[in-house]
Chain A
Amino acid sequence: MLVQTSLGLRTIVQRLHIIPPAIWLSALWLAALFAISLAADLLTPTDALISNLRMRLHPPVLFGGAFDHILGTDQLGRDMLSRLIISIKTSMSIAFLGTVIGAVLGTTLGLVAGAVRGIADDFIMMLVDVQAALPFIIVAMASIAFFGNTFWLFVAVVGVFGWERYARIARGMTLAAREEGYAVATSHIGGGPVRVYVLHILPNIASALIVAFTLNFPETLLLETTLSFLGLGVQPPQTSLGTMLGEGREYLVNAWWIAVIPGVVVALASLSTSLIGDWLRDVLDPKIKGKR
C-alpha cells in the first residue's frame, strides 16, 4: 500500500501527537539498541573476547549466578553481557549499513526506470521480477558460496536485500509525479532531468520511501542474524546476535541462556519495528485506518 504524497508535514505532526504506549516502548527499545551500539566500547564490563575456562557456563544472576557475570558466561567462560553488547553493535551496524545500501541502490534504479523509461525501465523491472522469483536468503547464500565469505562481501549481500521494494515504489511514484504540475513546470522553465528528478520529485516521494526504510530495517536485521545463526554470516572471533544464537543451539541442554538472551533481543527488536511500522502505516494512510 503506497502512502499518499500530498500529505503535509503539519498533518503528519498532528497525527503523531497521539502515540499509544506500545509504540513508546517499541521506540524506546530501538533507541536503547542504537545507543548501546554507539557506546558499545564504553559499556562492556569486561573484554568480550577473554575466555576463562574455569568460569564456563555460569548461569545469569537470577538463576543462581554471581554478580560478576550478570548474564552468566558462555561455553568458553566469556562474559555474556559484554558479548551481547558487542553483538548488538555488530548486528545493528550491519543492518543499518545494509538498509542504507539497499535504499540508495533501489531508489536510484527506481528513479532511473521512471525517468528514462523504455529499455532501461524494462530491464530494471525484469531484474525486479527475477528477484521476486527467488527468496533472498537463497540468493545471499549462493553469493556467499560462490565468492567466499568475507566481512565486506557479507555486508554487500545483506545490503542488496530489499532493493526491489524501493525500486518499485520509486518507479511507480516517479511515473505519477512526472505528470504533476510542479515537475512539468520545472522542466518547462529549463530545469534539466537531474534538477527535476533529484531536487523536485525525490523529496516529494520521500515519505513512502521512509516508511519502506522502517519496514526494511528489521528484515535486514533478521537476514543478518539468520545467516550468522546458520554459520554463514559474521565469523568468529567477531560476534553478532545470530552467531551467539547459533553457538547457543549446541548448549541448550545445560546452558539455555546462551541462545535465549540474544534471541530475546532480536525478537523484541523485530516486534518493536513491526509495531512501529504498522502504526506508521495507519497514521500516514488514513484510508485503511482501523483495518489492520
Chain B
Amino acid sequence: MTEFIIGKFIRMFVALLVIVTLTFIVLRTSGDPAQTFLPPDASPKTVEDFREKWGLDRPLPDQYLAYLKNVMGGDLGHSFVDGRPASQVVGERIPKTLLLLGTSFFLMLAMGFPLGIISALKHNTWVDRLVMSIAVFGYSLPNFFLGILLILFFSMYLRWLPSTGSGTWQHLIMPVVTIGTAGAAVIARFVRSAMLEVISKPYVRSAKARGLSRFTVVVRHALPNAAIPTVTVIGFLLGSLIAGAVVTEAVFAWPGIGRLTVTAVASRDLAVVQTIVLLIAVTMVCVNLIVDLLYGWLDPRIRDGLQKGRN
C-alpha cells in the first residue's frame, strides 16, 4: 500500500511539474513577460525590478528556476486591470465558486445515487426507462442552454427566482441545478449499471436467502460494492464541474472564478489566467490523488494485490 501511495505521489508531482513547465514555455513564446505581467502604466523602475526579479536578463535555465521559485512562493504577477497581485484577484473569488461547486456536487450525489439505485432495482420496468430517458436528456443538454431555459421559465415567466447575482440562497438555486444536472445524470447511469452488475452476484443472492430485509441487502451488501467503480467517475466529474462553473457563472453573472476566467481571457489578463490554470491544475491533481487513494482503500483486493507487488 505504501508503494502504491508513493507511486501516486510521484505521478502527481510529475504532472504538476509538467504543467508549470508548459505554462513557462507558453509564456516565453507568447511575448515579453514584463509587458505581459505589469500594468501598462508601470514605471521604468518597476519594469527593471521585474526583469531582475524574474531573471529575464539571464540564460533560460536560470529563468526557469526563477520562475519555479516565484510560482512556489505564490508570486504569479500582477493583474492588468487594477495592478493588484494576481493571486489576490483570484483568491477573493474562491469562496463564491466553492459554495457553488460544493452545493452542485452535493446535488449530483443526492440525485444521482438514489435514481441509479431505483433504476437498477426496477430494471426493465417503466420506472427504469423513465429515469434513464431523463438521464439522457440531463447529460445531453448543454448547460448554457439549460441555464437559459431556467432563466426564461423561473425568472421571466414565473418571476420566482433572480436571474443574476449571488446575494441570497435564491440566487444559488438555478446555477446549482444548471451545473449539477449533467453530473447527476452521469452518476445515475453509472450507479445503475454498477448495481446491475453486483445484484446478480452470489453474495447478494445468499444475503437475500438468509432472509435479510430488502433494504439491508441493498444498502449493506450491494451498494458498497457498486460504489467502488463509481468513485472513479466522481473524480472525472470534478473536471466537468469546473468546466460547468465557467459557463454557468457567465450565464448567471455569478462572481466566482469561472466568470473571472472569461473576463481575464477576453481582456488577455495573462497573470490572472496563469494563476487560474495553476490553481485548477493543483486542485484537479489533488482530487485525482484522493480518488485513487480512496479507491485503493475501498477495495481490499486492490490493497492486498498491490502489497503482493502486482501492478
Contact = CB atoms under 8 A, between A and B. Distances in A.
A253 B246 CA distance: 23
B50 interface: no
Interface size class of A (residues with CB under 8 A): 35 or more
Interface stretch (A126-134, A173-181, A203-211): A126-134
Interface stretch (A54-62, A93-101, A271-279): A271-279
B130 interface: no
B246 A133 contact: no
A267 B266 contact: no
Given A129-B15, A133-B285, A138-B280, A146 B273 contact: yes
Interface size class of B (residues with CB under 8 A): 35 or more
A146 B30 contact: yes
A291 B197 contact: yes
Contacts of B288: 132-133
A141 B145 contact: no
Interface string A244-264: 010011001100100110010
B123 to A, nearest CB: 9
A230 B26 contact: no
Nearest to B251: A249
A271 B145 CA distance: 13
Interface string A42-65: 000000000000000000000000
Looking at chain B's contact residues, the main secondary structure is helix
Interface stretch (A9-17, A106-114, A221-229): A221-229
Given A134-B284, A292-B189, A260 B148 contact: yes
Contacts of B262: 141, 230-232
A271 B285 contact: no
Contact of B144 (A245, A288, A290): A245
Contacts of A266: 142, 145
Given A137-B246, A145-B268, A146-B27, A260 B152 contact: yes
Interface in B237-294: 239-240, 242-243, 246-247, 250-251, 261-262, 264-266, 268-270, 273-274, 276-277, 280-281, 284-285, 288
Nearest to B280: A138
Nearest to A248: B148
A252 B151 contact: yes
Interface of B: 11, 14-16, 18-19, 22, 26-27, 30, 124, 136-137, 139-142, 144-145, 148-149, 151-152, 156, 163, 189, 192-193, 196-197, 239-240, 242-243, 246-247, 250-251, 261-262, 264-266, 268-270, 273-274, 276-277, 280-281, 284-285, 288
17 contacts: A126-B14, A126-B18, A134-B19, A135-B284, A143-B26, A145-B265, A146-B27, A148-B268, A225-B142, A226-B247, A230-B246, A231-B262, A252-B163, A267-B145, A290-B124, A291-B192, A291-B197
